[in-house]
Amino acid sequence: MGNMGFRAKELIHGADYNPDQWLDTPGIIDEDVRLMELAGLNSVTVGVFSWKNLEPEEGVYTFEWLDEIMDRMAQAGKKVILAAPSGARPAWMDRDHNEVLRVSAERVRNLHGERHNHCYTSPYYRKKTVEMNTLLAKRYGRHPAIYMWHVGNEYGGECHCELCQEAFREWLKKKYHGDIGELNRQWWTGFWSHGFSDFSEIESPSVRGEHSLHGLNLDWKRFVTDQTVDFFKNESAPFRELTPEIPVTTNLMGMYKGFNPWKMAPFMNLISWDTYPEWGREKENEADIALETAFSHDLFRSLKKQPYFVMENTPSVVNWREVNKLKKPGVHELSAVLALAHGADSIQYFQWRKSRGASEKLHGAVVDHYGKEDTRVFREVSRCGKLLEKLAPLAGSDVKAEAALLYDWENFWAIEHLQGWRQPRLYDETALQHYRALRKLGIPVDIVDEECDFRGYRIVAAPMLYLLRAGVAERLKQFVADGGTLVLTYGSGEVNENDLCFLGGFPGGGLMDAAGVWAEEMDTLYENEYNSACACGTDRCYQVDSYCELIHPQADTEVLLEYADDFYAGMAAATRHAYGKGRCYYLAARFEQAYLNELYRDILKEKGMTGVVMEVQKGIDVSVRLNGTEEYLFLLNFSGKEACVKLTDGRSYRDFFTGEPVEGIDSGVGMESSQDTITGTSGQGVVSLPENGYRILVMNSDK
């Protein structure tokens, strides 16, 4: 299988199962199996934190309990996702091999405890994880229950120990060809007399020491990424060698910024991630939470452009927020369908059974301390299990997107580290604004980074593309020249991959040719300070906040909006530039959502791109999955009230569950600019959605 992708043949409904916490409770496995049947689970994830139970003292192994679990799961027909237990370690290891304990940026070594606190460089820990995983692969690699390897858990964090410092210096030597002069030039160390004479003088960034060389900060993040990926590859090696036919995954974490998930993805057969949206954060915000969650789902699908797993979500509450809200009735099912709609092939829980003690005893679980099936949460999970059985034909199906949102981890790091502009930077928030505008039009969106191939897309939105890695400007220019539409904003193309500013004007690296503007200065605004920008010669104006760049359009660049206030009133605030067969839009200011909505609607019209809807109201998610000739249309309602969606693609559908026909009307008929006021009856392309409800429609392939 190597680095090839893995596609599930059925939808997985599973949970983190920790029977090793209950080994002295008679009969509990029988009861677990009975309840799993009732909950409709077809999979369990076992052993994520089981090291102490597998190797209670160094070199002493106790796999017998796991043998029994594997056998019982095989008898019960459950697929086991078996974990490599490196996410946490037994006390004996930390006592005898203190190098495995992580050292903080302040250069303080951790004590034993917690989890995820190991050094990624430690030769001992690397050797031990390979030993353990070799034993697991040999013992269970041919077991009838084995389905997938789950390596580590939620990789993250960084270690600043001497082993890591040395590895970092070696990494730098390789990157800068052993030439300290080259490093000094790339990091611009002449500033404050910070130049290095030798690689041995270099230390990882710390608030106690150097942290103002932006090139150093950026290289450190890249090193942490490479070291994390290398640790993962190292501990996956026994599975790759001994059981090449069994897929390998690890569970990634949402928009976690500690390392770049794009570098991990090629070494995973299947992407999986842990999703914990803050449903109920504020009543009126459910639509925003759904949008943020959908963005992450789209990211994880995009990492390999294939279906992914939801390795963890809670069936009810979490235990780590300041206020831990219950998922209201129906929200669990709706959030599960949101994952499926965006490309997930599984819904899995943390956790199956609530721990009796310690830190996660009050974290949501399928089985409560109460212990039986007559609970609200168990009923909701069982309902989800039945739903996944019905939706089996979805497994392995794709999402096809013609629009991409360029959101880049290295760009995020560079923006966060820069000194200047304003706080907060609003990179994530701005990416979401552009995403929201596209999703409002029912357009599927891939999330891409700078290294992705842009050629398959028709629209690339690249807000705040501050850092340009080598070759990116050329590839974006080619994308536009070939007919693509690129949307850039203020702050684009300011630094190269080593965080050195481009000379000769922004956007640099040659991107200015496509953008058709020169950005001379950046004004930033206070929290409640605004400017506005108006369409030339009209009274159509839009509020702008946070960022106002002062730009000079080229002679052949069309000015769409001009600033209305401040000393730069009358200067261009939004432009459009034809370049080759395509167009590049440049937004010099951070606009209110309404302008982005109109802009992307115009772009779609200009490109003749249509979704299945003209536009939807806030809180409605429209998604499509394709499975061969079958096309599944998902309409979800997070608006907090009853809602309607008008299908304007002129095609005919049937309800997935009832078979009831639903006819879309021709797009020429439904030209309303807003769906907020839509009323109507079925038969006119109008599909009604109850509060917290959804519909799944199947396109009739005869049309």
Please identify every residue annotated as catalytic. Answer: 154, 312
With binding defined as CB under 5 A, does residue 224 bind Zn ion?
no
Which of 119, 365, 415, 599 binds Zn ion (CB under 5 A)? It is: 119
Q: Do 48 and 380 meet the contact criterion of CB atoms below 8 Å apart?
A: no
With binding defined as CB under 5 A, does residue 159 bind Zn ion?
yes
With binding defined as CB under 5 A, does residue 338 bind Zn ion?
no
Q: Do 529 and 502 meet the contact criterion of CB atoms below 8 Å apart?
A: no
Backbone angles phi, psi at 225, to 5 degrees: -60, -50
> Does residue 554 have a cis peptide bond before it, meaning omega lies within 30 degrees of 0?
no
* Segment interacting with Zn ion, rule: CB under 5 A, options 111-119, 175-183, 445-453, 504-512: 111-119
**At CA 623, angle to CA 619 and CA 629, rounded to 5?**
165
d(CA 532, CA 541): 6
Least distance in angstroms from the C-beta of 158 to Zn ion: 8
Least distance in angstroms from the C-beta of 91 to Zn ion: 19
* Segment interacting with Zn ion, rule: CB under 5 A, options 46-54, 120-128, 409-417, 673-681: 120-128
Looking at the Cβ atoms of 121 and 433, the one nearer to Zn ion is 121
Least distance in angstroms from the C-beta of 227 to Zn ion: 9
Looking at the Cβ atoms of 159 and 487, the one nearer to Zn ion is 159
With binding defined as CB under 5 A, does residue 334 bind Zn ion?
no
Q: Show the tokens assigned to 303.
A: 């990492």
Residues 6+ apart with CB under 8 A from 682: 662, 688
* Segment interacting with Zn ion, rule: CB under 5 A, options 115-123, 287-295, 587-595, 627-635: 115-123
* Segment interacting with Zn ion, rule: CB under 5 A, options 31-39, 137-145, 153-161, 432-440: 153-161
Q: 693: which DSSP letter?
A: -
With binding defined as CB under 5 A, does residue 204 bind Zn ion?
no
With binding defined as CB under 5 A, does residue 472 bind Zn ion?
no
What is the CB-side half-sphere exposure of residue 354 using CA atoms within 13 A? 21
Q: Show the tokens assigned to 100.
A: 């495995």
With binding defined as CB under 5 A, does residue 448 bind Zn ion?
no
Looking at the Cβ atoms of 114 and 691, the one nearer to Zn ion is 114
Looking at the Cβ atoms of 113 and 371, the one nearer to Zn ion is 113
Which of 41, 73, 161, 395 binds Zn ion (CB under 5 A)? It is: 161
Of the candidates 7, 8, 29, 9, the residue with the CA atom closest to the CA atom of residue 17: 29
Residue 193 burial by Cβ neighbours in a 10 Å radius (0-12, 13-18, 19+): exposed
With binding defined as CB under 5 A, does residue 164 bind Zn ion?
yes
d(CA 183, CA 175): 9
Helix (H, G, I), strand (E, B), or coil: what is residue 613?
A: strand
Least distance in angstroms from the C-beta of 161 to Zn ion: 3
Kindly write out the interface string for residues 375-394 of this chain, putting x where it contacts Zn ion by CB under 5 A and - elsewhere: --------------------
* Segment interacting with Zn ion, rule: CB under 5 A, options 112-120, 314-322, 324-332, 517-525: 112-120
Which of 21, 50, 86, 121 binds Zn ion (CB under 5 A)? It is: 121
Looking at the Cβ atoms of 121 and 346, the one nearer to Zn ion is 121
Q: 246: which DSSP letter?
A: S
Helix (H, G, I), strand (E, B), or coil: what is residue 622?
A: strand
Least distance in angstroms from the C-beta of 598 to Zn ion: 51
Q: Do 240 and 396 meet the contact criterion of CB atoms below 8 Å apart?
A: no
Least distance in angstroms from the C-beta of 164 to Zn ion: 3
Kindly write out the interface string for residues 66-105 of this chain, putting x where it contacts Zn ion by CB under 5 A and - elsewhere: ----------------------------------------
Least distance in angstroms from the C-beta of 237 to Zn ion: 20
Residue 428 burial by Cβ neighbours in a 10 Å radius (0-12, 13-18, 19+): middle
Exposure string over 217-248, b if 16+ CB within 10 A, otherwise e? bbbbbbbbbbbbbbbbebbbebbbeebeebbb
With binding defined as CB under 5 A, does residue 433 bind Zn ion?
no
Binding-site size for Zn ion (CB under 5 A) equals 6
* Segment interacting with Zn ion, rule: CB under 5 A, options 157-165, 191-199, 536-544, 656-664: 157-165
Q: Do 664 and 613 meet the contact criterion of CB atoms below 8 Å apart?
A: no
Least distance in angstroms from the C-beta of 173 to Zn ion: 18
Report the interface residues with Zn ion, using CB under 5 A: 119, 121, 159, 161, 163-164
